[in-house]
A and B are shown apart, each in its own frame.
Chain A
Amino acid sequence: MPSITYGGQSYLCRAQESVLDCMTAHGVTIPSSCHSGLCQTCLMQAVRGSVPAAAQAGLKDTLAAQNYFLACSCYPEADIEVALPSTGAGKLSATVTAIRPLNADIVCLQLQTDAKLKYRAGQFINLYKDAFTARSYSLASVPGIDENLQLHIRKVPDGLVSQWIHQTLNVGDSIDISEATGDCFYTGDNPEQNLLLIGTGSGLAPLYGIIRDALAQGHRGTIRLYHGSETVELLYLAEELRSLSQQHRNFVYTPCISGNLVPSGYAPGMVADVALRENPDLSGWRVFLCGHPAMVESARKLAFFAGASMRDIYADPFKSAPQNNAAGSTPAATRNMTIDADLTLGAQASHAVA
């Protein structure tokens, strides 16, 4: 049984137990969120001994080279000594510059960072309520277009971080965020390729960034956005998207309503069904899927069957984090909990939000 040394104490790590599980079982709080090896909230560093390669999957080479690893996917094979990333590493300080309602449930949180954040539109950051409570949110802003960072934050019932943002956070407040990560973004290497983007709820955030980024980079292929919700009131940015489609002939916006009341101008039905029905041949297309995990998973298969290559399908299922227990939850709780309809995030990234 390997031992894990942390903060001067040693803990025995049982079989099938990750570093994160072990710490949690001993009452030690390590920041965590998705428990799936994706969001990188539980980043730690091995200061003695080494970790299995699987614990470094998806990390930047530079981090892996410094023995950083993900506590949730690290099953130690030998004794190790670990530490949280040195204070400040990978974190940036930001100031709230605006909190603007987008609809009854979602606000746009605008942030200005002290140091410039390097990111691609569509990537996500972790936002820290405090040292131990973080959630991932997708960036809706575009570097070079938007001066400030923008996040679309949906009020999740009992969501520790989202409720705090909606109710307590004020303009002028200072908060910590992580560096940006995630591979759901526009690359500009194939400007003629057709793009299909499907989102539910606040899954619009990364798509809104990706679309504006693609248009700004002079994308010439068709760009089709399908944004779905149950009611008209739950959609948002509809005016901005309509006006964007008037400015760009290759951008088509189709709002979809899954509920019973469907006014003209809206497509009736589940968003992925509408999108796939209207675009039955996706050979050569690039596809972006963001929002409700069930929608993302079913649309991923449908898009693949419709001819899109697996390499061209980018997905960001927004999983919600375990409620009322940001750091001390078990992985099982994260995976099995009831998924809320439109959380802000995860790939290929699966990020927990709440």
Chain B
Amino acid sequence: MSSLYEKIGGDGAVNAAVDIFYRKVLKDDRIKHFFDGVDMDKQAAKQKAFLTMAFGGPHNYTGEDMRKGHAHLVKNGLNDSHFNAVMENLGATLKELNVPADLIAQAAAIAESTRNDVLGK
């Protein structure tokens, strides 16, 4: 039984998804202001790490990393509505790449599991 990461397509799938996902996020009026003045190359690397994690791939993130990494954004108002927007962009990205619905649901569940840490709850 291959893993979710393998089923979705591994590193190749992440590379295909990162541009589509990051473009959606940067164009999304609900959340784009969180990315003002951010180094785009560094951010793309982070998006790739996030997608790798959501796809069930290898990553080193801990809940504590998620908390620390987003604390400054929470201070600036990051809340559930923004998290929902990111989840929506993730789903739309995978749909655009023709990933089957059951795999999208699995990836969404992994991303969803970070909600409390990301929002510092």
Chain A residues within 8 Å of B, Cβ to Cβ: 297, 300-301, 304-305, 309-311, 315, 347-348
Contact = CB atoms under 8 A, between A and B. Distances in A.
- Measured as residues with beta carbon below 8 angstroms from the partner, the interface class of chain B is 10 to 19
A304 B26 contact: yes
B26 A301 contact: yes
A309 B19 contact: yes
Nearest to B44: A310
Contacts of A304: 19, 22-23, 26, 40
Interface of B: 15, 18-19, 22-23, 26-27, 40-41, 44
3 pairs of A and B residues whose beta carbons are closest in the complex = A310-B44, A309-B19, A348-B41
A300 B43 CA distance: 13
Contacts of A311: 15, 19
Nearest to B47: A310
B41 A310 contact: yes
Nearest to A347: B41
Nearest to B45: A310
A310 B44 CA distance: 7
Nearest to B37: A297
B27 A300 contact: no
Given A300-B40, A348-B41, A310 B27 contact: no
Nearest to B41: A348
B26 A310 contact: no
A304 B22 CA distance: 9
A310 B43 CA distance: 10
24 contacts: A297-B40, A300-B40, A301-B26, A301-B40, A304-B19, A304-B22, A304-B23, A304-B26, A304-B40, A305-B23, A305-B26, A305-B27, A309-B19, A310-B18, A310-B19, A310-B22, A310-B40, A310-B41, A310-B44, A311-B15, A311-B19, A315-B41, A347-B41, A348-B41
A156 B72 CA distance: 37
A311 B48 CA distance: 12
A231 B23 CA distance: 34
A348 B39 CA distance: 9
A211 B93 CA distance: 35
Given A305-B27, A310-B18, A310-B40, 15 more contacts: A297-B40, A300-B40, A301-B40, A304-B19, A304-B23, A305-B23, A305-B26, A310-B19, A310-B22, A310-B41, A310-B44, A311-B15, A311-B19, A315-B41, A348-B41
